[in-house]
Chains A and B, each alone.
Chain A
């Protein structure tokens, strides 16, 4: 019964998300453009599917994975796990003590990105528009690797206390340099994949990890340092997607060169 009430609450919350979109779309379509909806029954069913699907998705995560993931984040960052024994406070530590935290951050960043619904949507579109040269799973894998690296580096930053903007600014410099050399057709998609990675699945778990770290390490403020992990998760996919395109371009070029120069052993 309680679960049902919770489910209804989630659905109404999402309705607040979907309703403005539906009103804007239908308002412009019918009143401004004066065109009837194409196949309204199908569109309506589709919208109900989106709403119901997201509600089930979020509710299921809340029931099954989020509590465990959050608990894990707080256990892995607790002083007694980090230093071993029954240490209650952290007085002296080196960044290597947080070994498992970095591994967990990277693994959970990768895994949650693969399940991110918005990324699935963009990958499907990219696959369709590119005529199949960009595969759905290839793009998702590239983005997930970027998020994994970003979140792991972000936790390292919280542990060491290095200022956030050093990392972000150097990340942007890498993005700019890559933009000069990456295949032109991947650039818009790479930029977009930075924005889609951080939504329903990734944010709750990653934020819990950042908060757990910032609360237990002396001298870190949960409000100042807990924020900022998300920024890492949206910066590094741009780099990894461009790298993915660069590597595959380089490989096809090398393959072609080998074909045209059979007498030239490489």
Chain B
């Protein structure tokens, strides 16, 4: 009990250190550059305490739940030896965690507004909504596909750079042909797909797979899933923009 408390106190101190740069930057600009006072000091103090406490809890939960869950799943699938089940799992995980992602919903709605303004689709609520839903499904499908390919890559031991660089060349070529309005959204959709809860889980899954397959090195083969998940949405979204 005492060690647990000590550990938690240490993690609180670490979280405070993590937050310190933001406090310094905002404080410097507020006081020195903009030459203004600090409004609502009590609120800032309370909020800061919440951030520190929250970050410590998150890191604790990471080690208790998300990391072991991801690695255990990887071991179980390898032990079971059923490739198709593993691939279905990878796709479902990518699709399921992305389709309901709040950041993605926001981007999709904004994209629909741009498309309607640019005359790509009719400016009616229904047309906008079906465009936004279509975009969300496309991005979720892209992330599912990314995890599927990423898992095959770990199993086969392919070097990550060939696939990723090939993908980037695809992005560059498609940028030349995709409609102007979609390009910014496509680039950004790559970044929003990987949420704070998904990232640790997917990282643990990849490392668990690389650890449990002979001949794979966790550092070289285990990482890379997140990179796939941020690359494929760009390609799929530009394709979506070209087709609709």
Q: Which of A58, A64, A115, A179 has the most CB of B within 10 A?
A: A64
Query: Within 8 Å CB of A228, what residues of B?
Result: 184, 187-188
Interface presence of B209 (CB below 8 A): no
Describe A's contact surface by its main secondary structure: helix
Q: State whether A188 touches B57 (Cβ < 8 A).
A: no
Interface presence of A18 (CB below 8 A): yes
Interface presence of A194 (CB below 8 A): yes
Q: State whether B191 touches A234 (Cβ < 8 A).
A: yes
Residues facing A in B6-61 (CB within 8 A) are: 18-19, 21-26, 28-30, 33-34, 39, 43-61
1/0 per residue, CB under 8 A from B, across A163-175: the answer is 0110011001001
Chain A interface size, as a band, is: 35 or more
Q: State whether B60 touches A49 (Cβ < 8 A).
A: yes
Q: State whether A230 touches B192 (Cβ < 8 A).
A: yes
Known A57-B54, A112-B22, A130-B219; contact A16-B102, beta-carbon cutoff 8 A = yes
Q: State whether B196 touches A63 (Cβ < 8 A).
A: no
Distance A124 CA – B14 CA, assembled complex (angstroms):
13
Q: State whether A32 touches B61 (Cβ < 8 A).
A: no
Q: State whether A203 touches B102 (Cβ < 8 A).
A: no
Distance A261 CA – B184 CA, assembled complex (angstroms):
53
Query: Within 8 Å CB of A256, what residues of B?
Result: none
Q: Which of B54, B92, B172, B198 has the most CB of A within 10 A?
A: B54
Distance A194 CA – B96 CA, assembled complex (angstroms):
22
Distance A187 CA – B28 CA, assembled complex (angstroms):
36
Partner of A231, one of B85, B188, B207, B222: B188
How near does chain A come to B103, taking the closest CB pair, in angstroms? Answer: 7
Residues facing A in B103-131 (CB within 8 A) are: 103, 110, 113-114, 117
Chain B interface size, as a band, is: 35 or more
Q: State whether B66 touches A46 (Cβ < 8 A).
A: yes
Residues facing B in A55-77 (CB within 8 A) are: 55-65, 68-69, 72, 75-76
Closest residue of chain B to A198 (Cβ to Cβ) is B191
How near does chain B come to A187, taking the closest CB pair, in angstroms? Answer: 6
How near does chain A come to B220, taking the closest CB pair, in angstroms? Answer: 5
Closest residue of chain B to A140 (Cβ to Cβ) is B18
Query: Within 8 Å CB of B113, what residues of A?
Result: 223
Distance A199 CA – B102 CA, assembled complex (angstroms):
11
Q: State whether A60 touches B191 (Cβ < 8 A).
A: no
How near does chain B come to A49, taking the closest CB pair, in angstroms? Answer: 3
Interface presence of A52 (CB below 8 A): yes
Query: Within 8 Å CB of A29, what residues of B?
Result: 72-73, 76
Query: Within 8 Å CB of B51, what residues of A?
Result: 56-57, 60-61, 64-65, 115
Interface presence of A111 (CB below 8 A): yes
Known A69-B26, A125-B207; contact A165-B175, beta-carbon cutoff 8 A = yes
How near does chain B come to A23, taking the closest CB pair, in angstroms? Answer: 8
Closest residue of chain A to B205 (Cβ to Cβ) is A25
Residues facing B in A107-132 (CB within 8 A) are: 107-108, 110-112, 114-115, 117-118, 120-122, 124-126, 129-130
Residues facing B in A188-220 (CB within 8 A) are: 188-189, 191-192, 194-201, 203
Distance A108 CA – B24 CA, assembled complex (angstroms):
10
Selected A-B contacts with CB under 8 Å, 22 pairs = A21-B93, A46-B62, A52-B61, A53-B56, A53-B61, A68-B26, A72-B29, A114-B21, A115-B22, A115-B55, A118-B194, A118-B195, A120-B18, A130-B219, A165-B175, A169-B175, A172-B171, A188-B223, A191-B160, A196-B226, A224-B181, A231-B191
Binding site for B on A (CB under 8 A): 13, 16-18, 20-21, 23-25, 28-29, 32-33, 35, 38, 42-65, 68-69, 72, 75-76, 81, 100, 104, 107-108, 110-112, 114-115, 117-118, 120-122, 124-126, 129-130, 164-165, 168-169, 172, 175-176, 179, 184-185, 187-189, 191-192, 194-201, 203, 223-225, 227-228, 230-231, 233-234
6 nearest CB pairs, A to B: A64-B47, A46-B65, A46-B64, A49-B61, A60-B50, A56-B54
